[in-house]
């Protein structure tokens, strides 16, 4: 079975491509025996905590600012259920199915580390959602990091809310019934596990990486085509010249451009016609390369997060010798900063493309027919295409403003 057909969570770390395979290509996700053993071990620790009565955040206490409220008995199951129902309050247009699937995939990988304490049947239910094509309806807005998104995933396991199933939006209960699945009964800490951690931003970032990889490849080819059409001067892409500024991305883009342009008769006839090209033409390796370097950084950060333990509290040890540690691993600063930088890098990729587009259609600099049309005036040609590009670039710049610096206080100063 090929990688695109099945992804196995075992001992080896997963990459962003694995998440994309599950989210976009419909690959089946399965857990190895070792992964299940880790999950069962952590759940057994939860049971020991419940029996001992030792206070542990989210296991037998309230959440957030209510962390000092102790709970016991049937309150623990009610807490888990109520956590999902109270947190499922997102607003706005729903995430695309592939986005929700990426989040679920990243969440399951987090639980497979065996430090969360979630019940096996909850993970089995999440796998069933992925592998049987049941995708919870998850509003895209209202989550400070992760809480509401995963809550909407979690309530689908209870048979509550709406899901995408067989091309239609149906009640979650209906989809579960048609697949012969029963609603999940939650136990201690299950609710917190389902809304905790960084799977949301990490899963979504994996999809963004896939898009950025593809855009970077297209950008190099399109940049080379523009360079040829404008009769660019090849010295700017000379390997020995670019090597004097040895940023890895820049070297790769230079190599790509030289490969695409090799043997061009159009360029051969245009060498020496000008001293140097406009900056938007000759700096293609520098701008595209910087984007590639930020993409490489984002991949390192996001794949590290993807294979990390991001639950709180963390359960360590064995049922006979255990430790509960409250910490801040659900804080997604590393992913957020990497994603912000990637946004800026992609916005720059769009900006330089728009400048090259303008030079193609502007008769004052292109040496080509105005707006690339044989009868200008009767036909506007590609004039308004540049308007669209300029508008999209402006939108990109707005969206590329860093989100990570916008911090707000929540949960009665507990999450500040």
- 207-303+326-399 CATH choice from 1.10.8.50, 3.30.1490.20, 1.20.200.10, 3.30.460.20: 1.20.200.10
Cα distances (angstroms) measured from residue 39 to each of 12, 29, 112, 183 = 16, 16, 6, 20
Mean pLDDT, the chain, integer: 94
- pLDDT tens for each residue of 157-178: 999 999 999 999 999 999 999 9
pLDDT attached to residue 145: 64
pLDDT higher than threshold 80 for residue 188: yes
CA-CA-CA-CA torsion for 56, 59, 63, 64, nearest 10 degrees?
Answer: 40
Cα distances (angstroms) measured from residue 396 to each of 34, 248, 365, 366 = 44, 25, 26, 26
- Which of the 8 DSSP states describes residue 96? P
For range 379-407, the mean pLDDT: 93
pLDDT attached to residue 2: 45
Give the residue extent of every domain in the chain. 6-196, 207-303+326-399
pLDDT attached to residue 413: 52
Active site residue 57: yes
pLDDT attached to residue 32: 98
Cα distances (angstroms) measured from residue 246 to each of 242, 251, 299, 352, 359 = 7, 7, 20, 21, 28
- Which residue from 255, 236, 414, 405 is spatially nearest to 336, judged by alpha carbons? 405
pLDDT higher than threshold 70 for residue 411: no
pLDDT attached to residue 414: 54
- Which residue from 211, 218, 351 is spatially nearest to 295, judged by alpha carbons? 211
* Gap between the Cα atoms of 268 and 151, Å rounded: 60
Contact indicator for 314, 298 with CB cutoff of 8 Å: no
pLDDT higher than threshold 70 for residue 3: no
* Gap between the Cα atoms of 157 and 118, Å rounded: 14
* Gap between the Cα atoms of 195 and 88, Å rounded: 10
pLDDT attached to residue 410: 62
In CATH, what number does 6-196 get? 1.10.275.10
pLDDT higher than threshold 90 for residue 53: no
């Amino acid at each position: 079975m090929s990688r695109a057909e099945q992804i196995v969570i075992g001992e080896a770390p997963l990459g962003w491509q694995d998440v994309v395979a599950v989210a976009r290509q419909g690959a089946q996700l399965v857990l190895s025996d070792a992964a299940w053993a880790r999950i069962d071990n952590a759940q057994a620790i939860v049971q020991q905590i419940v029996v001992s009565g030792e206070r542990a955040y989210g296991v037998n206490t309230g959440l957030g600012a209510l962390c000092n409220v102790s709970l016991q008995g049937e309150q623990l199951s009610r807490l888990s259920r109520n956590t999902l129902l109270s947190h499922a309050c997102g607003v706005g247009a729903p995430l695309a199915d592939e986005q929700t699937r990426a989040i679920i995939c990243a969440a399951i990988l987090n639980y497979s580390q065996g430090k969360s304490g979630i019940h096996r049947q909850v993970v089995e239910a999440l796998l069933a959602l992925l592998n049987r094509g049941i995708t919870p309806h998850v509003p895209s807005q209202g989550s400070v990091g992760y809480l509401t998104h995963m809550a909407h995933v979690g309530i689908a396991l209870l048979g509550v809310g709406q899901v995408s199933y067989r091309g239609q939006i149906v009640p979650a209960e209906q989809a579960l019934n048609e697949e012969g699945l029963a609603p999940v009964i939650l136990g201690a800490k299950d609710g917190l596990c389902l809304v905790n951690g960084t799977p949301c931003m990490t899963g979504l970032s994996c999809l963004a990486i896939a898009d950025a990889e593809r855009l970077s490849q297209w950008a190099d080819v399109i940049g080379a085509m523009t360079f040829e059409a404008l009769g660019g001067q090849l010295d700017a892409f000379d390997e020995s010249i670019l090597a004097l500024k040895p940023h890895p991305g820049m070297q790769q883009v230079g190599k790509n451009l030289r490969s695409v342009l090799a043997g061009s008769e159009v360029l051969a006839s245009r060498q020496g016609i000008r001293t140097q090209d406009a900056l938007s033409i000759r700096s293609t390796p520098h701008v595209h390369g910087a984007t590639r370097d930020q993409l490489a950084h984002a991949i390192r950060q996001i794949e590290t997060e993807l294979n990390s333990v991001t639950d709180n509290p963390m359960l360590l040890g064995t049922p006979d010798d255990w430790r509960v540690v409250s910490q801040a691993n659900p804080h997604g600063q590393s992913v957020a900063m990497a994603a912000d930088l990637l946004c800026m890098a992609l916005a720059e990729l769009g900006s330089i493309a728009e400048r090259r587009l303008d030079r193609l259609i502007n008769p004052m600099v292109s040496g080509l027919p105005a707006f690339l049309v044989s009868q200008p005036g009767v036909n506007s040609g590609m004039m308004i295409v540049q308007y669209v590009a300029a508008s999209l670039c402006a939108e990109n710049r707005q969206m590329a403003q860093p989100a990570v610096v916008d911090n707000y206080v929540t949960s009665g100063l507990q999450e500040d």
